[in-house]
Amino acid sequence: MIRIGCHLSSSKGFLAMGKQITELGGNTFQYFTRNPRGSRAKELDPDDIAAFLAYGAAHDITTVVAHAPYTLNPCSAQEKTREFAMMAMEDDLKRMEMTPHQLYNFHPGSHVGQGIETGIRLISDQLNALLQPGQTTTVLLETMAGKGSEVGGRFEELREILDRVTLSDHMGVCLDTCHVFDAGYDIVNDLDGVLTQFDKVIGLSKLRALHLNDSMNPLGNHKDRHQKIGQGYIGQEAFARIVRHPALRGLPMILETPNELPGYAAEIHLLQELAGE
Ligand code: FE
Ligand code: FE
Ligand code: ZN
């Protein structure tokens, strides 16, 4: 069984998301820890979480992915923005221990002209300030499209962050298919080659989740525009190879395609079929 689901709105709580993904035919999901643009996080309801954990255990929802807000930029040139990133991530990580052993994914950030090395240093410094030896959450760096001054468009950049983080056992990587394709990694014609490169540079054991998105733009365009599965430049055949790949099979695969819920249900079904289920 592949582990597949999509991004869901968290506005009705955890149990509602669990039930929703079951209805859509999936067994994992992703949600924003707070408004993707804004800063406020909703108060978590312990009863809702307890009900969700019981529901998840009964419905094989073992792994879910929390996504940090897009505005979180630990390597901003503005101290205020860096402070917000620190505050929001600290609060998110505290709250996430209420749903233990889950994944927290964030965009490493944009160095906005300070240079890639400064960006990498600031991101690593923040992680070193926040990670706790006893935490159960694994923090994931997302592979980025290399748009503007984004850090994380090359596997080497993610490797360097991981090397600088002391508690790197609590860290992993989330590979976004649209982003890596936009960054220039040819997962259409050479999936094995890209995964070999990932293994050499980062290590496949660090790969903990996938974002499954087709791309509106050709290889290496650095645009980051997601497309529905099979309707972009990556194409359905490449996704068939991705969901069938032995190195990727057990990982949570999250759709972030431009869809409403029925569209997600159709894509979940399609990918399960492509995986041979
Ligand atoms: Fe993302
Ligand atoms: Fe993504
Ligand atoms: Zn994206």
Which of 211, 214, 264, 267 is catalytic? The answer is: 211
Q: Is 111 a catalytic residue?
A: no
CA atoms within 13 A on the CB side of 195: 17
CATH of domain 3-274: 3.20.20.150
The CA 211 to ligand 2 mean position distance, Å, reads 5
Kindly report, residue by residue over 92-147, the tens digit of the pLDDT.
999 999 999 999 999 999 999 999 999 999 999 999 999 999 999 999 999 999 99
Q: Is 107 a catalytic residue?
A: yes
The CA 144 to ligand 2 mean position distance, Å, reads 8
Do 209 and 252 contact (CB within 8 A), yes or no?
Answer: yes
The CA 150 to ligand 1 mean position distance, Å, reads 12
Which of 92, 226, 264, 267 is catalytic? The answer is: 226
The CA 150 to ligand 2 mean position distance, Å, reads 13
Q: Where residue 50 falls among pLDDT bands split at 50, 70, 90?
A: very high
Q: Where residue 79 falls among pLDDT bands split at 50, 70, 90?
A: very high
The CA 68 to ligand 1 mean position distance, Å, reads 8
Which of 95, 224, 264, 267 is catalytic? The answer is: 224
Q: What is the pTM of this model?
A: 0.97
Whole-number average pLDDT of the chain? 97
Q: Is 156 a catalytic residue?
A: no
**CA–CA distance, 228 with 242 (Å, rounded to integer):** 15
Q: Where residue 36 falls among pLDDT bands split at 50, 70, 90?
A: confident
- Which residues have a beta carbon within 5 Å of ligand 1, which is an ion? 142
**CA–CA distance, 34 with 85 (Å, rounded to integer):** 12
Query: Considering every ligand atom, which ligand is closest to the CA of 226?
Result: 3
Q: Is 256 a catalytic residue?
A: yes
Backbone angles phi, psi at 53, to 5 degrees: -60, -40
Task: List Cα–Cα distances, 95 to 44, 100, 213, 247, in angstroms.
Answer: 8, 10, 28, 31
Q: Is 67 a catalytic residue?
A: yes
Kindly report, residue by residue over 168-222, the tens digit of the pLDDT.
999 999 999 999 999 999 999 999 999 999 999 999 999 999 999 999 999 999 9
Task: List Cα–Cα distances, 222 to 48, 82, 119, in angstroms.
Answer: 40, 24, 18
**Contact residues for 168 (Cβ-Cβ < 8 A; gap 6+):** 162
Alpha helices in the chain (DSSP H): 14-23, 46-58, 79-96, 116-130, 155-164, 177-183, 191-201, 236-244, 261-274
Q: Where are the domains of the chain?
A: 3-274
pLDDT of 44 higher than 80? yes
Which of 67, 82, 159, 208 is catalytic? The answer is: 67
Q: Where residue 43 falls among pLDDT bands split at 50, 70, 90?
A: confident
